[in-house]
Structure 1
Amino acid sequence: MRLTPAAVAAERDRLRERSPVVVPLLNDTRDALGELFDTDVDTVSDAQYRREVDRVFAVGDRAVNVAALAGLLRELDVEGDYPGFVVDELLGRRLAATIAGGQPLQLLAEATFHFADTRSQGAEGDPAGTDDLDAALAAGVQTRLPGWSWRESKSPFAVDPVGGDDE
């Protein structure tokens, strides 16, 4: 794998084009989690998904890592599939976390990846990593986007800064 700015841009375009597969999985995941946690969660449109992919790729350090992880998953296939189970889970989890950003969102994206992965099935003949790629995209992007009521208000644990500069 050789990553150049052009290769990263091409990977961004490939991920944007996955919206017909990823967005239904993303919304299915949100619906199921909303039901489990007894809350309504906003649905995400194809346009929102593509816009969020663009935002992820607008940060160069994140973009190159997302491109590398996505490329590995897109190409990953292991004879018999099961021996590769751990590596595609590892790559998927890291991709979801990288897309989501810093804590606590990255941890939520990792957990959501495993949930979304149980709901994702690749098409016949797809490499083993394809469904993990879709689950990672769904988990990472859905975690970044608003729509969860707990994210819509200020945390009660925020502590106001103490005035003045400490030296």
Structure 2
Amino acid sequence: MNLTPETVAAQADWVHDRHSTVVPLVNDVRSDLGTAFETTVDPIVDQQYHRAVDTVFRDGDRAVNVAALVAILRDLDVVDDYPGFVVDELLARELAAMIAGKQPLRLLAEATFHYADVAHHGSDDEGAGLDDLDAALAAGVQTRLPGWDWREDPSPFGVESSEM
């Protein structure tokens, strides 16, 4: 694989084009997790997805790494799938975290990836990495975007500095 600015742009376009699969998956995950945590989580629309993708790919240092993981997962397949279970999970979990951003969102995206991955299955004619890629995109984007009540207000745990 040769990563160039053109390859990164091509991967960004591919991620944008995946909106018809990823946005419904984001909304399913948000709905299910909202029910599990007894809260309402706002669904997202395509425009929010595209803005989140633009934000991720605008950061060149992040973009090149995200593009590499996307490209690998798009092409990844393993005979009988199960022996490759660890590698596609590892790569996709890291992709979800990169998309989400800094802690604690990074960790939440990793956890959400596993939930989305269990809920989403690709077709038999797709490579083993593609359904993990979709789950990673959904987990990372859903974590990055607002919609959870706990993220709407400032944290009560911030400590004001005192002048000494």
Letter in 2 for 1:16: H
Residue 22 in structure 1 maps to residue 22 in structure 2: yes
What corresponds to 1:139 in structure 2?
Answer: 139
- Deviation of residue 47 (structure 1)? 1.2
- State the alpha-carbon separation in 2 of the partners of residues 163 and 87 from structure 1: 50
For residues 71-120 of structure 1, the C-alpha deviation after alignment (integer angstroms, 9 at most, x for no partner) is: 11100000010000000000010000000111000000000000000111
- Deviation of residue 161 (structure 1)? 2.1
Matched residue SS, 1:129:
helix
- State the alpha-carbon separation in 2 of the partners of residues 73 and 95 from structure 1: 10
- Deviation of residue 2 (structure 1)? 0.7
For residues 32-65 of structure 1, the C-alpha deviation after alignment (integer angstroms, 9 at most, x for no partner) is: 0000000000000011101110010000010001
What corresponds to 2:31 in structure 1?
Answer: 31
- State the alpha-carbon separation in 2 of the partners of residues 162 and 149 from structure 1: 29
Matched residue SS, 2:41:
coil
What corresponds to 1:83 in structure 2?
Answer: 83
Letter in 2 for 1:62: R
- Deviation of residue 10 (structure 1)? 0.5
Structure having the higher helix fraction is: 2
What corresponds to 2:105 in structure 1?
Answer: 105
Letter in 2 for 1:108: L
Matched residue SS, 1:118:
helix
What corresponds to 2:95 in structure 1?
Answer: 95
What corresponds to 1:7 in structure 2?
Answer: 7
* Root mean square deviation of aligned Cα: 0.8
- Deviation of residue 163 (structure 1)? 3.1
Residue 127 in structure 1 maps to residue 136 in structure 2: no
Gaps of 5+ in 1: none
Letter in 2 for 1:11: Q
What corresponds to 1:156 in structure 2?
Answer: 156
% identical aligned pairs: 63
Count of aligned positions: 164
- State the alpha-carbon separation in 1 of the partners of residues 44 and 124 from structure 2: 27
Letter in 1 for 2:45: S
